[in-house]
């Protein structure tokens, strides 16, 4: 059994180390994606090299769901895979290390049970980093919508002051901080560098992040840029609609969190009732038993 355990430990550590080294190596850039970017934008930039797959291309092209979530979170797929492999190696190795310590202390745990627990924790560690992605993406998109509402307010104010549409978009994007304004500034800079309309890059960014409000903004800007429509009224209306949507969203979040608090409160109430009820029943039972015992008169 000791030889089998040593062989399994060696294989796991060796395989985990190999996977970690391979995941840490830089991934080669796909030349077909670069050719597609160059043919679309007309130039090859550092941003195109680092993120060639984030281009939406045609309407029917969709990336892997995990890649789309990681794009919203601003994480690299290689970093995410490294976290998964690290969690897997740690989850698999921890029971084996505890078993080795138990062997050194003189206690011999069942090897098969130890291996089963190690495999279960290893699989769980590998899958766990994917579990919170959906909730994190939803929080990230909600934050983007809130910041986009503030951005539209700034654009509306600049347009009311007499600024042009493009000038208002760029000035409003450069007046804010945070990752949302960084994404908007990057899209506007790419539009200026590639001589494309800002609505095109906003549309691509909306496809990458999955934010419908940004796609609506791109459609409004496309009408202004392609058909000469008045954009200020549509942007003001969009900002008002987003403001009411954010209020409704916040109210819904508050109600959802209030409903979630019912479960722990109910559990605490049941636990307190059981604790007090057990003490009361014990006291009643003790008092009833004491009543049946005859009293002894210790007279003079």
Please, what is the angle between helix 65-73 and helix 77-104, to 10°? 100
Residue pLDDT, tens place only, 118-140:
889 989 999 999 988 988 898 89
Judged against a pLDDT cut of 60, whether residue 285 lies above it is answered with: yes
Confidence band of 57 (pLDDT split at 50, 70, 90): very low
Reported pTM: 0.62
Residue pLDDT, tens place only, 72-108:
888 888 889 999 999 999 989 888 888 888 888 888 8
Q: Is the dihedral of CA 81, 83, 84, 89 positive or negative?
A: positive
- Residue with tokens 């722990």, as numbered in its chain: 264
Secondary structure (DSSP) of 33-100 = HHHHHHHHHSS--HHHHH-GGG---STT----HHHHHHHHHT--HHHHHHHHHHHHHHHHHHHHHHHH
How many percent of the chain have pLDDT more than 70? 71
Residue pLDDT, tens place only, 28-53:
544 444 444 444 444 444 444 444 44
266 versus 288: the higher-pLDDT residue is 266
As a whole number, the mean pLDDT across the chain is: 75
pLDDT score of 185: 92
Residue pLDDT, tens place only, 162-221:
878 788 888 988 988 889 999 999 999 998 888 888 888 888 998 888 888 888 888 877
Residue 96 neighbours by CB distance under 10 Å: 20
């Amino acid at each position: 059994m000791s030889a089998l355990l040593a062989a399994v430990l060696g294989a796991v550590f060796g395989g985990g180390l190999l996977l970690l080294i391979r995941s840490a190596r830089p991934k080669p850039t796909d030349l077909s994606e670069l050719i597609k970017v160059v043919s679309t934008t007309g130039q090859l930039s550092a941003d195109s090299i680092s993120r060639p797959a984030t281009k939406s291309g045609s309407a029917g092209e969709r990336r892997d769901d995990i890649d789309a979530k990681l794009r919203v979170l601003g994480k690299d797929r290689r970093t995410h895979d490294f976290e998964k492999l690290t969690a897997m190696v740690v989850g698999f190795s921890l029971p084996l290390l505890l078993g080795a310590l138990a062997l050194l202390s003189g206690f011999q745990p069942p090897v098969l049970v130890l291996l089963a627990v190690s495999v279960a924790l290893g699989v769980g560690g590998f899958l766990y980093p994917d579990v919170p992605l959906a909730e994190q993406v939803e929080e990230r998109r909600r934050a983007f919508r809130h910041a986009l509402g503030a951005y539209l307010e700034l654009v509306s104010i600049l347009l009311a002051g007499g600024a042009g549409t493009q000038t208002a978009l760029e000035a409003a994007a450069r007046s804010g901080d945070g990752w949302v304004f960084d994404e908007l500034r990057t899209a506007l800079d790419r539009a200026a560098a590639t001589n494309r309309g800002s609505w095109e890059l906003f549309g691509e960014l909306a496809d990458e992040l999955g934010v419908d409000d940004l796609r609506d903004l791109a459609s409004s800007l496309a009408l202004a840029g392609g058909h000469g429509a008045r954009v200020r009224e549509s942007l003001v209306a969009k900002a008002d609609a987003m403001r009411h949507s954010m209020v409704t969203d916040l109210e819904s979040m508050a109600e959802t969190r209030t409903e979630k608090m019912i479960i722990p409160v109910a559990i605490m109430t049941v636990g307190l009732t059981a604790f007090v009820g057990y003490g009361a029943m014990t006291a009643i039972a003790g008092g009833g038993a004491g009543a049946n015992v005859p009293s002894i008169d210790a007279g003079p």
